[in-house]
Amino acid sequence: MTNPILSDWTTPFEIAPFAEISDDDFSPALQQAMQAHNAQIDAIADNAEPPSFANTIEALEAAGEQMDKVLSVFFTVAGADSNPKREELQREFSPRLSAHFSGISSNKALFRRVADLWARKDELSLTDEQARVLMLTHRGFVRAGAALEGDEDSRMQEIKARLASLGTSFTQNLLADERDWFMDLSEDDLEGLPDFVVSAARAAGEEKGVDGPVVTLSRSLIVPFLQFSPRRDLRETAYRAWTARGANGGEADNREIAAEILELREERAKLLGYSSFADYKLETEMARTPNRVRDLLMQVWEPAKTRADTDAEVLTAMMREDGVNGPLEAWDWRYYAEKRRKAEHDLDEAALKPYLQLDRMIEASFACANRLFGLEFAPLDVPLYHPDCRAWEVSRNGQHIAVFIGDYFARGSKRSGAWCSAMRSQAKFPKVQAPIVINVCNFAKGDPALLSYDDARTLFHEFGHALHQMLSNVTYESISGTSVARDFVELPSQLYEHWLEVPEVLAEFATHAETSEPMPQEMLEKVLKAANFDQGFQTVEYVASALVDLAFHEGAAPADPMTKQAEVLAEIGMPQAIGMRHATPHFAHVFAGDGYSSGYYSYMWSEVMDADAFAAFEEAGGAFDPERAKALEENILSTGGSREAEDLYLAFRGRLPGVEALLKGRGLIAA
């Protein structure tokens, strides 16, 4: 019987046939796909014909179709709808996949063919895109250790395999802590909480199989609980549990895993001739060097900390008025900041939230994409991996562009955070394929589902990533969509957040859940005026995490990452009442894989550009200026990684921005 993962998918737009796939299909499918991929690689490496772009680079681009099918399905469900079997498979697959891809990158015969082409690149009459793919392929082999020999080569394979296993363990430990902890709430404990928090707590209790409301470690529930609960003791309990994820002792503790990961990364970088892992990692990014990253972060840190210190004095005074002595603590900040926001801006999130319905915010994100890029969205009725998921066909001028899948609600089987991934990336070689893109979020369920303003920004953010995938228009999959420098990949997503703040967008789509009335003009103005509220706190918690990440990787690996974290925070003068956005034991961006290691700064780097890029619209005909939208698509959204990120931004804007636009955008300096 044909494995449904590897069969021809006859579903609409060849979406994975989730309803036909069982967990027992994954392991045999992966085994068969790896064998097929290895045979393809061997055929390329052992080709008797002299190396050419077609028989080597394009052949590599075309190889691995079965692998793509298996991994796109498996990693989608493992991240968004895990279960014990899928967790077991992740642990099994991690070293197998590491060995498989390490075997390709260390294939000496294959590397000789790539190196030969690289040496003759000027003689090959390549298109600009082909030249870029050749460069990236050659660079990828070198950075993976293909030029290493003997013991160094063997050690590199061992390191990569161990890092893959450690990253999987880190992720699963974090998921276990997030899934297993919850705090029961009595009816009295609900006092002072707005209806939407109570509703979310009751829904969470049902999901946990508990007879009553609970607080879980889902950000969409714990943050509003910390904002609104007048019970300081309960806030402390919840906050301590939230920040202790990955550091609770026992089998799910991530601290020793983090230490070993850092040690192995340093060794990996040294084997490749770099002085530190940060030097290795940043070489291919826009920032290039650790010093440039630190310079950016510190330019932002100083005004952010000054603002946060001033805000802390105000919040402490409010706490005193409530008769609470002692210092302002981290579990106090959000509560008193919310009270302050209500007092200073007369903006009550409980009153605001009914105007931010999930369905209406999805409509808003689609409508902006329609006005900017002519995209149209039609619901699709197709089986997906979970009942919460929804799908749309994306078209333009009657032509199919992509399939978009949204998976919006928090559940215990889903890892925390929000992300965008392509189950299939856009390409024209070896065949034309339209992308299948998925946004995964962790919003609280409700009837209807209501978002915080931060949730709504997250929705727009992830949809910005989706647009980068959907509007991609390149030949080769390896440079498609979001296959760009890490500190450039957040530009389209963070830029798209700005359209949520366009008054006419909120005026049309921010309608009340019960009355359908549009958000009152007075409230709309308050929302926009309060957009930069508490930016000292938000910037400090982010930049502190980015500085710790950089410090972990720019020198010798710390024997005790927790001690190093404390040293960095003390050195920069971290305010006592603000915690890192991601402390080391639950810093999945950095330790679940290499993606954001030495690269958590990239959100800030991209924000420097996104503030300046949106200003380009405002300087032209406004947020929906057609010429600017066309320039954005042509120079950034459609180009993938076909050119250097800096060149793409220069083509769009004509210059590179300074940090001032970011500081003004966050309200940390005068506009």
Which residues are known catalytic residues? 462
**Do the Cβ atoms of 410 and 221 come closer than 8 Å?**
yes
What is each CA distance from 344 to 348, 356, 533, 577, in whole angstroms?
Answer: 10, 21, 10, 21
**Do the Cβ atoms of 72 and 16 come closer than 8 Å?**
yes
Two tokens, residue 397 = 């001028």
SS3 395: strand
Q: Which run of H or E residues covers position 543?
A: helix 535-553
Q: Which of 394, 458, 463 is nearest to 426 (CA)?
A: 394
How many other C-beta atoms can be found within 10 angstroms of the C-beta atom of residue 601? 28
**What letter represents residue 89's amino acid?**
L
CA–CA separation, 420 and 458 (whole Å): 11
CA–CA separation, 482 and 461 (whole Å): 14
CA 317 to chain centre: 37
Residue 626, preceding peptide bond in cis (omega within 30° of 0): no
SS3 268: helix
CA–CA separation, 356 and 298 (whole Å): 35
CA 611 to chain centre: 19
527-566: b (≥16 Cβ within 10 Å) or e:
beebbbbbbbbbbbbbbbbbbbbbbbbbeebbeebeebbe
CA–CA separation, 241 and 243 (whole Å): 6
SS3 309: helix
Two tokens, residue 62 = 């075309």
Per-residue H/E/C for 548-585: HHHHHHCCCCCCCHHHHHHHHHHHHCCCCCCCCCCCHH
Per-residue H/E/C for 601-640: CHHHHHHHHHHHHHHHHHHCCCCCCHHHHHHHHHHHHCCC
Two tokens, residue 22 = 């069982």
**54 CB-contact burial (10 Å; exposed 0-12 / middle 13-18 / buried 19+):** exposed
Q: Which of 15, 10, 14, 25 is nearest to 70 (CA)?
A: 25
CA–CA separation, 537 and 121 (whole Å): 50
Measured between alpha carbons, how far apart are the two ends of the chain, in Å?
66
The string of DSSP codes covering 193-205 is --HHHHHHHHHHH
Residue 558, preceding peptide bond in cis (omega within 30° of 0): no
